[in-house]
Structure 1
Amino acid sequence: MNAKPNSEPKKTGKKGFETEEIVRSYFLGAGFFVVRGVKLRHGGDELTDIDLWLYERSATLARRRIIIDIKDNAQPKAAERLFFVKGLAELIQVEATGIATSDTRRSLRELARKHNVLWIDNADLQRLKSSQRLTASSRLSDEDLGEFIAKIDASRSSKNVRDAFASVKSAVADRFGPSCANTAIDGAQYFAKTAVEAHPGSLPAQVFTRLAYFSAAIAAAALDFASGESALRPHHERLASLTDAIRFGDDPKGTAEKVRWAKAAIRDYTPNGASLAEIFHTRFNEALQSVPAESLAEIVVKMTNSDRLFNAARDLEQAAFLIECPSFDDLTIDSKSFLGAVLDFVAIDRLAFSQAWNPPKHVPTSASAKEVTTSASALSSSEGIVAPADHGKLL
């Protein structure tokens, strides 16, 4: 018997990816820090994907994380996605949620409003898709960058670069703050070091420079979020708090408790335990104090007195995805200052990094960045979904 020919078109997911890019561009233009395609992980397993993860800093003390679920297909199952995203938001403890769907049912919009879920329905999506300001982007898509990364990994017969990039992205999902910042700083060190080792001006040098920018962007956003808890404290207390956060991660007191437990275990259960315990404690503290966290923390404290660090995070993310990838010297002042501090912290020479990728100055990359933001901002005002001045009232 001959097999029945498959009359259905092959599903590639391209439409959904394009919609995610357009919605991301919209929220970038509305003033958010946005990460697309975040994998939620636990115990080494990938549990689910977050289509868009947003971070908003609307005032000195006002910070908010938002997850957006996007389904643009013939059967979006919008009600199920609404219940799913609400449960996921509670699980990872973010402040707000949203749905972008091809569904048109008014009853679901009313249900979303009742439960404080941002609702972008098919009519909204079509307006976004019809805007040349969003579709004619000067940015790479996530898929474009993924193809570059795949080429680098293929040349090395590994998936190390892909995995390192995914690890930095996934850190925002369940540990945004000091722990996420430390993961991102580790990523910046790896990517910057590899960029320096690559042939200057080559594709690997460009890709690793992009990934170093992206990792530094995540670190800046995470440290900006972490600074909110100490925003009203005196300068010396803020500096001490952020220094401990960079050294220890989310739980400085917990780390100190583990050290005390280890010291007691060495003292009680090993020969010459008392002297060995003191040696362990002394050398551990010396190792911690040798970490130059104060310099990086000082930069963070100065930049979080206003929205400079948040803007640096947005600028670095933009630089990572611009089609015309800017050099280190072409970055904005604040993004260069923060990235420079990160490079100093991880002992990567700034000059060597700046020379890894230095494209010809035939396209004004800063103008390209402004064009994307200005275009998206103009759209948000005209389309009436979320105007930049009102994005604090998103939900």
Structure 2
Amino acid sequence: MVKKIPKGFEMEEQLRNYFMQSGYFVVRGVPFVYEGFDVTDIDLWLYSRESSLTRNITIVDVKNKKTPQAIERIFWAKGLAKAVSANNVIVATTDKRKEVKDFGLDLDVLVLDGVFLSKLSKSEGFLKNRFSDEEFEEEIEKYSLGKLDGDWKGQISKCKSLLANEISFDSCNQWLEVSRFFAEQILTKPSQLDVALRCFYYSLSLFSIGVDYILKELSFLDHDERVGKLVEGFTYGSKGQEGVTKMLSLSLSLVEQFAAEGKSISSQVRSKVMADFDSLPTNIIGEYFAKADVGKTIFSTAKELEFLAMSRDFRNHSESSLELRATIGCLLDCWEINRKEFSLSINAS
């Protein structure tokens, strides 16, 4: 049964459905955090892949109120778009005045006005096959120990908030870490299997979007160069090996200066840290995502993963596309999780 949600959130879900039908990857309620302060939520975050060289990020501000203050919302959304490095801005408002659309046009903001929203509100069944965000959160909260056991709901919120920053290897590595966390929960929490799988698919869908975004910058490189860039990024993050080495050298120079036997300690720490980096099996995912056919399908894989996470009639990925199953298999290999054991766990129920 579809649970009734507040009017404003219902409009966000209707718009989400509209943009998904138009081919976008859509995330609702993206927290924008600045210097530790919760500033606001992005109502809808849209991602589109228009070609192998072009990606677009659009934010949508939704105000389904009698007095929407549309002009002010245009100012607000325009500023927010700059803060989160979005390419495009859309304001959805119940206001029907022509002047509002004209003002939006002047500021390069697309206005979906009251006429459009009234037509959209007549659509039915948009939540027939998928959860709203509120229902998804309720599913997570059914695990009463979720807050203490790694903060499951907080992990998903953290994943969303990374979208408000420029997508990079750092954000991809954080999505990868959350995905690994939920993969381990799938193996160790059989009583919470469905919700753990939902969270696993959701975090992995955002990781897939991140990889697709990064591949845009690597499209002109040959295969071996792509592998090298991906392995370096998944190993060392956005700073790369050179940046991490410089940061490590700066830190260890203080140890050398002020600690007894500083040079000996510094040498040992440097060797241990670099050995830890070298031991990371990131070559597995670097080589996988560098493949041309994987790069072409990763965007559709992301959308498929998101649908699995939010599907009202929940099913695991055992019957999903070959590309999706191959992506999960690659990551399991990277995390040194036995594929057969994982498969047995997800089919246990």
Calculate the TM-score normalised by the size of structure 1.
0.82
Measure, in 1, the Cα distance between the counterparts of 2:169 and 2:159.
13
Measure, in 2, the Cα distance between the counterparts of 1:71 and 1:357.
40
Correspondence for 2:8: 16
**Does the CA contact (< 8 Å) of 2:16 and 2:28 recur in 1?**
yes
Shift of 1:304: 6.7
Q: Once the two structures are superposed, what CA deviation does each residue of 1:285-331 show, in whole Å capped at 9, x if it has no partner?
A: 11001111111111111157643111111111111111122213122
Q: 2:337 aligns with which of 329, 348, 352?
A: 348
Q: Once the two structures are superposed, what CA deviation does each residue of 1:164-203 show, in whole Å capped at 9, x if it has no partner?
A: 111111111114221211111111111121122122xx4x
Matched, 1:327 2:312: no
**Does the CA contact (< 8 Å) of 1:327 and 1:354 recur in 2?**
no
Correspondence for 2:64: 72
Correspondence for 2:184: 193
Q: Once the two structures are superposed, what CA deviation does each residue of 1:92-128 show, in whole Å capped at 9, x if it has no partner?
A: 2111111111111111111112222122111112222
Correspondence for 1:206: 194
Matched, 1:290 2:294: no
Correspondence for 1:215: 203
**Does the CA contact (< 8 Å) of 2:146 and 2:153 recur in 1?**
no
Shift of 1:342: 2.1
Q: Once the two structures are superposed, what CA deviation does each residue of 1:316-364 show, in whole Å capped at 9, x if it has no partner?
A: 111111112221312221122112222222333333333334388xxxx
Q: Once the two structures are superposed, what CA deviation does each residue of 1:189-248 show, in whole Å capped at 9, x if it has no partner?
A: 11121122122xx4x210110000011110110111112112101212111111111112
Measure, in 2, the Cα distance between the counterparts of 1:158 and 1:312.
29
Change (3 A) 1:118 1:352: farther
Change (3 A) 1:327 1:359: farther
Correspondence for 1:85: 77
Q: 1:280 aligns with which of 242, 261, 269?
A: 269
Matched, 1:261 2:250: yes
How many residues are aligned here?
345
Query: Which has the larger displacement, 116-125 or 351-360?
Result: 351-360
**Does the CA contact (< 8 Å) of 1:214 and 1:316 recur in 2?**
yes
Measure, in 2, the Cα distance between the counterparts of 1:318 and 1:141.
12
Could you tell me which runs of 5 or more consecutive residues in structure 1 were left unpaired when the two chains were aligned.
1-11, 361-395
Correspondence for 1:127: 119
Matched, 1:247 2:235: yes
Could you tell me which runs of 5 or more consecutive residues in structure 2 were left unpaired when the two chains were aligned.
none
Correspondence for 2:105: 113
Correspondence for 2:132: 141
Change (3 A) 1:53 1:81: same
Measure, in 1, the Cα distance between the counterparts of 2:147 and 2:100.
49
Shift of 1:159: 8.2
Runs ≥4 in structure 1, deviation > 6 angstroms?
A: 155-159
Measure, in 1, the Cα distance between the counterparts of 2:70 and 2:344.
49
Change (3 A) 1:305 1:60: farther
Q: 1:162 aligns with which of 125, 149, 153?
A: 153
Change (3 A) 1:279 1:294: same
Shift of 1:45: 2.6
Correspondence for 1:9: none
Shift of 1:261: 0.9
Measure, in 2, the Cα distance between the counterparts of 1:187 and 1:303.
26
- Structure 1 SS opposite 2:28: strand
Measure, in 2, the Cα distance between the counterparts of 1:352 and 1:328.
15
Change (3 A) 1:185 1:136: closer
Measure, in 2, the Cα distance between the counterparts of 1:211 and 1:154.
15
Change (3 A) 1:136 1:183: closer
Correspondence for 2:300: 311
